[in-house]
Amino acid sequence: MTSPDAVTQIVRPATDTGALSTFTSTIRLRLRVPAKLRNLELVLLAFALAIVGASIALVELGALGSVQGPVLALGAGLGVITLIIHVALRFAAPQADPFLLPISTMLNGLGIAEIYRLDISKNLSGWGAAGVRQIAWTAMAMLLALAVLLLIRNHRVLQRYSYIAMFVGIVLLLLPMLPGIGQNINGAQLWIHVGSFSFQPGELAKIALAVFFAGYLVTARDSLSLVGRKFLGMRFPRVRDLGPILVIWLAAMVVLVFQHDLGMALLFFGLFLVMIYVATGRLSWVILGLALFIGGVLVASRLLGYVQARFESWLDAFNPKVYDAVGGSYQIVQGIFGFAHGGLIGTGWGRGSPGIVPLAESDYIIASLGEELGLAGLFAILALYLLFVSRGFRIGFVGQDDFGRLLGVGLSFVIALQVFIVLGGVTRVIPLTGLTTPFLAAGGSSLVANWIIVALLLRLSDSVRTQPQLVVE
């Protein structure tokens, strides 16, 4: 045990002195130490809010020529909600990680600024404007995150519900295929539609599945890791233990084949592989899983036109035939032109023409930001994601209970993988899929899901710090 908290240092000698002094000194230190974290968070939050405010003002200066009031006022409203979350943290999770809230606030705000900028170029305003809807969704997502933070006071509660989480996750994944509420947007069947309200449940499914994976793997890891036959220097699992991975693989293939969502399939299958690897420490699971997935995708690419088209647009994007084809590489190529137009330092807020790219405010928000903020801005955004993920991984490294560690790693890895799938797709590292960039992209489902992840990571990081470090589970 290397880094004993100030609290634990005090707790032990406290038995020697009077009860009252122990009590007061514990109180004093309990308040002082976390206040340091929360004060750091407040400073960072103020910084993030200042940058977001300046971004919105610069968007208006760049695109309209003068700073207007209304959107800034709405943005300030969001700022107030983040401050409420901050205050709530002081009471509900005083030792939570101080970086998570400012980073997500900043990313969310940058996304709003860019979406608003695209609204301006399309002359949209009111509820027709994606930016205004994004602000409303952000408010809702932040309040939900606050609710999660206040309701779940101990993350171990989640472990009890891991099989319910599995059920919820699978239902959420399959919901869009139900006739009546399922909706096909841009060739992918991944939305549900009730009245005028549409939602992409797959985003929420990734949380439910992370909870299920963590809970299941903590209990099943021994049977998954200790037995099996050695082959090529690696211990491969017994056939009877293959059940879960085959079920997850089947679910991924269903998403791929029936919902036409390569990105989502890759996302939650990748999440499962990483979590099973972390839990069991056996690379054979990853190799087996990757082989299954790649095999499935290769077969699908032969049988499913859309997967094949995705591969063609990826490998041969600049070919005029592929470029001009319906569902071809027009979007990829125009997005890359956007990055190139931005160059190193970008055109500046409101000065580029990101609106040329289809879905510039959702799937292609990162290309829009790349054009206006340049490679420099892009690197800054990526650094924010990297920092966010590293804070999540920290829970895995210093956490005490394996369920919490696995869940923390899973939730932060899912963000990292999603960023990679989107950016890798947009910049032609991998085939393009239709995932959203966490926090940045326009879309309520994605915002709600990612803010709930923030709440869970805040809760996990708080329990990591408040746990008495001498108690070994």
Query: What's the rounded Cα separation, in Å, for the pair 226 and 280?
Result: 8
Q: Can residue 263 be called a binding residue for other proteins (CB under 8 A)? A: no
- In order of 76, 191, 203, the CA distances from 251 in angstroms are 42, 17, 15
Separation in Å, CA 278 to CA 118, 324, 394, 397, 405: 41, 44, 14, 11, 10
Q: Which is nearer to other proteins, 237 or 370 (CB)?
A: 370
Judged by CB under 8 A, the residue of 374, 404, 434, 444 near other proteins is 374
Question: What backbone torsions phi and psi does residue 318 show, to the nearest 5 degrees?
Answer: -85, -5
CB of 225 to other proteins, least distance (A): 11
φ, ψ (nearest 5 deg) of residue 236: -95, 145
Q: Which of 378, 447, 460, 464 binds other proteins (CB under 8 A)?
A: 378
CB of 424 to other proteins, least distance (A): 6
Ramachandran bin of 374, using left for φ above 0, alpha for ψ from -120 to 50, beta for the remaining angles: left
Q: Does residue number 100 form part of the binding site for other proteins (CB under 8 A)?
A: no
Q: Is 341 in the site for other proteins (CB under 8 A)?
A: yes
The binder of other proteins chosen from 339, 364, 403, 451 (CB under 8 A): 339
Least Å distance, CB 34 to other proteins, is: 26
Residues 266-305 that bind other proteins (CB under 8 A): 274, 277-279, 281
Binding-site member from 428, 436, 443, 447 for other proteins (CB under 8 A): 428
Binding other proteins by CB under 8 A: which of 111, 201, 350, 352? 352
> Is residue 393 part of the contact set for other proteins (CB under 8 A)?
yes
CA distance 381 to 383: 5
- Complete DSSP assignment for 253-306: HHHHHHS--HHHHHHHHHHHHHHHHHHH--HHHHHHHHHHHHHHHHHHHHH-HH
Phi and psi dihedrals of 190, rounded to 5? -135, 25
Q: Which of residues 304-323 bind other proteins (CB under 8 A)?
A: 318, 323
For other proteins, the binding residue among 34, 263, 338, 431 (CB under 8 A) is 338
Closest CA to 88 of 101, 76, 78, 106: 101
Site for other proteins in 161-200 (CB under 8 A): none
CA 86 to chain centre: 20
Does 328 engage in binding with other proteins (CB under 8 A)?
no
Check binding of 120 to other proteins (CB under 8 A).
no
Distance CA 42, CA 142 (A): 17
Query: Minimal distance in Å, beta carbon 58 to other proteins?
Result: 13
Stretch that binds other proteins, among 7-15, 233-241, 301-309, 368-376 (CB under 8 A): 368-376
Question: Using DSSP, how many helices (H) and how many strands (E) does the chain show?
Answer: 17, 5
> At its nearest, how many Å lie between other proteins and the CB of residue 352?
7
Q: Residue 172 and residue 187: Cα distance in Å, rounded?
A: 19
Scanning 5-13, 120-128, 287-295, 427-435 for contacts with other proteins by CB under 8 A, the matching segment is 427-435
CB of 59 to other proteins, least distance (A): 17
CA 182 to centroid of chain Cα atoms: 24
Q: Are strands 229-231 and 197-199 parallel, antiparallel or unpaired?
A: unpaired
Output the CA–CA distances (angstroms, integers) from residue 144 to 117, 237, 304, 364, in the order listed. 27, 40, 38, 26
User: Binding to other proteins by residue 333, rule CB under 8 A?
Assistant: yes
Closer residue to other proteins (CB): 404 or 444: 404
382 binds other proteins (CB under 8 A): yes
- Pseudo-torsion of CA 295, 297, 300, 302, nearest 10°? -80
Residue located via tokens 């009590």: 23
CB of 466 to other proteins, least distance (A): 21
Candidate list 342, 404, 431, 438; residue touching other proteins; CB under 8 A: 342
Q: Distance between CA 235 and CA 367 in Å, rounded?
A: 43
> How many CB atoms within 10 Å of residue 251?
20
Query: Binding other proteins by CB under 8 A: which of 48, 56, 135, 356?
Result: 356
Which x/- pattern over 396-425 shows residues binding other proteins (rule: CB under 8 A)? xx----x--x---x---x--xx-xx--xx-
- Quick one: which segment of 90-98, 247-255, 302-310, 345-353 binds other proteins (CB under 8 A)? 345-353
| From candidates 121, 219, 353, 466, binder to other proteins by CB under 8 A | 353
Stretch that binds other proteins, among 29-37, 55-63, 131-139, 352-360 (CB under 8 A): 352-360
Q: Which residues bind other proteins (CB under 8 A)?
A: 274, 277-279, 281, 318, 323, 333-334, 336-345, 348, 352-353, 356, 370, 374-375, 378-379, 382, 385-386, 389-390, 393, 396-397, 402, 405, 409, 413, 416-417, 419-420, 423-424, 427-429
